[in-house]
Amino acid sequence: MAYFVLVGRIDENVQKFGARGYFIARKGKTLVRKWGPVIAIGGLGGSFRWKGAPRIKIDKYRTEAAASRAYSSIKPRGTRRYSPLPSATRILRSRNT
């Protein structure tokens, strides 16, 4: 299970700046990914909350080995500019969802 964030320049945004979060986890044959805009709370070492409901994609594989290969291949590709969060830090649910 890993959380990643990107805070800074995002060319797709109208204002060219924003914060996005990315989550990936594998449990057995199932791979779960969540991504979407986040709100940064506090300064360095602060916390993050999803801004609304994140997008969710759940993939089920026939074997655990296939799920493990998918996890390894998706993780670097989907997190090129994202910074990993420390292991004890996670992106919290939005208060209004």
48 within domain boundaries: yes
Residue 57 lies in a domain: yes
Q: Is residue 73 part of a domain?
A: yes
The mean pLDDT of the chain is: 82
Q: How many domains does the chain have?
A: 1
Predicted local distance difference test score (pLDDT) of residue 15: 67
- Are 33 and 54 spatial neighbours (Cβ–Cβ below 8 Å)? no
pLDDT of residue 55: 94
Q: What is the dihedral of CA 27, 6, 40, 45, to 10 degrees?
A: 80
Q: How far apart are CA 93 and CA 50, in angstroms?
A: 6
pTM here is: 0.76
Provide the CATH number for the domain around residue 53: 2.20.140
pLDDT of residue 44: 64
pLDDT, tens only, 42-53: 766 678 899 989
Record the tokens describing residue 78, joined without a space: 């989907």
Give domain status of residue 11, yes or no.
yes
Asked whether residue 31 is domain-assigned, the answer is yes
* Enclosing domain of residue 56: 2-87
The answer to the question of residue 49 being in a domain is: yes
